Amino acid sequence: MNAMTQTAAKTGTALASIVFAALVGATVIFFAGHAQSATLHDAAHDMRHATGFPCH
C-alpha cells in the first residue's frame, strides 16, 4: 500500500513537472513570437518573419 502511494505521488510530481515545463515553453513562445508590445515586436521582428509567425 505504502509503495503504491509512493508511486502515485511520484507520478503526480512528474505530471506537474511536465505540465509546468510545457507551460513555460508555451509562454516563452508566446512572448517571443506573438506578443504585440512595440519593443518586443521590433526586437523579435526578423526572427518572427524567419520562423513564419504572423508578425504584423
Partner 1 sequence: MIQRLFAGGLVAGFAAGLFSALLHFAFIQELILLGEKYETGELVHFEAGATTAQSEGHSEAAGTDESHEHDVGEASEDSALSRNAKTVLFTGLIYAGYGLLLVAGFAAAEQFGRKVGPREGVLWGIAGFVALQLAPAMGLAPELPGTAAADLDARQVWWLATVLATGGGIALLAYGRGVIGYVIAGALLAAPHVVGAPHLDQYFGVAPSELGAEFASRVLGVGLVSWAVLGWLCARAWNSGQS
> Is residue 9 a contact point for partner 1 (CB under 8 A)?
no
29 closest CA partner among 42, 16, 40, 14: 40
> Is residue 42 a contact point for partner 1 (CB under 8 A)?
yes
> Is residue 46 a contact point for partner 1 (CB under 8 A)?
yes
> Is residue 51 a contact point for partner 1 (CB under 8 A)?
yes
Q: How far is Cα 11 from Cα 8, in angstroms, rounded to an integer?
A: 5
Q: Residue 8 has which C-alpha cell?
A: 502515485
Q: Residue 40 has which C-alpha cell?
A: 518586443
> Is residue 6 a contact point for partner 1 (CB under 8 A)?
no
Q: Which residues bind partner 1 (CB under 8 A)?
A: 11, 13-15, 17-22, 24-29, 32-34, 36, 42-47, 49-56
